[in-house]
Structure 1
Amino acid sequence: MSLPQPVPPSWKDLGKSSNDLLGKDYHFHGTALEVKTSTPSKVTFKVAGLRDPKNAAINGDIEAKYADKAHGLTLTQAWTTSNALRTQVELENQIAKGLKLDLGTSLLPDKGTKSALLNVTYKQPGLHSRAALDVFKGPNFTADAVLGRDGFLVGAEASYNVTEGKITRYAAAVGFSAPEYAVTLHGLGNLSTFAASYYHRVSPDVEAGAKAIYDTKATTSGVSLEVGTKAYLDQAAFVKAKINNAGVLALGYTQALRPGVKASFGLALDTQRLNEASPSGPAHKVGAQFIFEA
């Protein structure tokens, strides 16, 4: 008798371990501040801001989230400095077990631009499927599904333009996931771009990963390659490093200063131009992020 199969990751989370290792905690695009607070009435507030080093502009948003776990309801409302109003309503495990409904809307009053995206997610052992309808764009209908068994994963995604009556995008992926490592191969952009990634937890304190991308439509030939690692210094701090085949080295350091207070620092160096500046600005970047949570 075979063991019960776990719910596989969603399509967007295939290769997530490698993507997080190579993409998160490298804060070298300006200075960011994030403050989170919670109330006894199950309302969470988040204020976030980012100072762009190129034009010294500060972009930010304020978000309020209400979660009623007993009834599977989550309501999120956000307002950004670009005067965008975002609303998201989520309802999970109420109509059927494993079924989640999600409606996200966005409105820019100054420009009169609006969007609405209706998502339906259905999860069961060995299956993770999603469907999304972009009401005002197209409208477009997108569906994806991931099947998993004994660590092996197979997924596919397709978008259909209702007005034009044709498939506008499709992709596929295969992978294998184990507690200590994961390997994923994607065929994206109508199978014109191929990406392979791997993640390995070498030990409880060290992680490693890599990602290679080959675009058949790119003007430059060759494969883009990026490798990185993460090492925990102790329970409150870790360092990360990655480098790509263009010679860009990125470093990140994250430290939990005290419960609810975390600081992260990032540095990017163009190792091929250590003593010069690029035409569009400095070849090297530095930044920081501070998170306060209560």
Structure 2
Amino acid sequence: MAVPPSYGDLGKSAKDIFNKGYGFGLVKLDVKTKSSSGVEFKTSGSSNTDTSKVNGNLETKYKWAEYGLTFTEKWTTDNTLGTEITVEDQITKGLKLTFDTQFSPNSGKKSGKVKTAYKREYVNLGVDVDFDFAGPAIHGAAVAGYEGWLAGYQMTFDTAKSKMTQSNFAVGYKTGDFQLHTNVNDGTEFGGSIYQKVNDKLETAVNLAWTAGSNSTRFGIAAKYETCPVCTGGWQEHQRRWPQAGTGPGAGGIII
């Protein structure tokens, strides 16, 4: 079996059917380019036609492949500056270390993270430390996979409060064109999703979620059909909501 996905990517195929390509009232633009010296530039922007709010960011990335290093600089229209340094496959194969810092000149706020990820066959592990003046928060996640079956656990420990603030568990099954995902968050929120790739052009997904101690049950069904290599059409319906339909390019770009 290949390396299992990270905990955050469990059930991702179904989530993408529901969340991507439905940019009503939102115009997005992404541009990527690469210089002759190997520096990658990426800029993206979005405009909300209802609120007239415009967001954007600029990212530069340089990879020093010989030493497994990646340097990334980020700037957003919120005037937040970010620096990220990544070391991969140097200490041991499959291990990735990331040092991430952010600084906002307007407010003077600073933040930092140390991220570790270890990926090998049958296992995907991650531990992040989010530094804060009150005390660091430790985030951990693990996913194990065997013959298509997946099981994962995710937790957050707040050192300032000396208690566990998040405890999630997930189980799933994945094949080439079918995925089943179930999860329990903090023992109170339950969810599940099914993804099916019918053929090269048609993908479908079903999502169900409910919260213990309440009558709130959420159900959704969605489908995505690719009419041509650069065009797609989508449809989704949620319980107690009107159906939605949208179009978007199959390979990114402007979503209308």
1:1-294 alignment to 2 at 5 Å? 5-136=1-132, 138-188=135-185, 190-216=186-212, 221-255=215-249, 262-265=253-256
Identity of aligned residues (%): 29
Residue 261 of structure 1: CA displacement?
8.4
Residue 210 of structure 1: CA displacement?
1.2
Deviations 1:162-189 (A, max 9, x none): 233221111100000000100000111x
Partner SS, residue 255 of structure 2: strand
Indicate if the aligned counterparts of 2:62 and 2:71 stay in contact, CA closer than 8 A.
Answer: yes
Which runs of at least 4 in structure 1 moved beyond 4 Å after TM superposition?
A: none
Distance 1:261 1:155, change over 3 A: closer
Partner SS, residue 198 of structure 2: strand
Residue 22 of structure 1: CA displacement?
1.1
Whole-angstrom CA distance in 2 between matches of 1:53 and 1:262? 17
Q: Which amino acid aligns with 1:144?
A: A
Distance 1:132 1:255, change over 3 A: closer
Tell me the TM-score normalised to structure 2 length. 0.93
Partner SS, residue 203 of structure 1: coil
Q: Which amino acid aligns with 1:235?
A: P
Whole-angstrom CA distance in 1 between matches of 2:107 and 2:213? 35
Residue 42 of structure 1: CA displacement?
1.6
Whole-angstrom CA distance in 2 between matches of 1:236 and 1:62? 25
Structure 2 residue runs of 5 or longer lacking an equivalent are: none
Indicate if the aligned counterparts of 1:252 and 1:264 stay in contact, CA closer than 8 A.
Answer: no
Partner SS, residue 19 of structure 1: helix
Whole-angstrom CA distance in 2 between matches of 1:111 and 1:123? 37
Structure 1 residue runs of 5 or longer lacking an equivalent are: 266-294
Distance 1:30 1:254, change over 3 A: closer
Indicate if the aligned counterparts of 2:23 and 2:246 stay in contact, CA closer than 8 A.
Answer: yes
Indicate if the aligned counterparts of 2:27 and 2:255 stay in contact, CA closer than 8 A.
Answer: no
Cα RMSD of the aligned pairs, angstroms, is: 1.8
Whole-angstrom CA distance in 2 between matches of 1:17 and 1:113? 36
Indicate if the aligned counterparts of 1:42 and 1:68 stay in contact, CA closer than 8 A.
Answer: no
Deviations 1:103-147 (A, max 9, x none): 221111111112111110011110000000011163111111001
Identify which range, 84-93 or 247-256, moves more after superposition: 247-256
Deviations 1:22-80 (A, max 9, x none): 11122224222222211121211122222223332322111111123343222111111
Q: Which amino acid aligns with 1:154?
A: A
Report the number of matched residues: 255
Whole-angstrom CA distance in 2 between matches of 1:224 and 1:73? 44
Residue 250 of structure 1: CA displacement?
2.6
Indicate if the aligned counterparts of 1:213 and 1:224 stay in contact, CA closer than 8 A.
Answer: yes
Whole-angstrom CA distance in 2 between matches of 1:63 and 1:183? 35
Residue 7 of structure 1: CA displacement?
1.0
Indicate if the aligned counterparts of 2:27 and 2:254 stay in contact, CA closer than 8 A.
Answer: no
Partner SS, residue 2 of structure 2: coil
Distance 1:97 1:234, change over 3 A: same
Distance 1:51 1:234, change over 3 A: closer
Whole-angstrom CA distance in 2 between matches of 1:97 and 1:152? 24
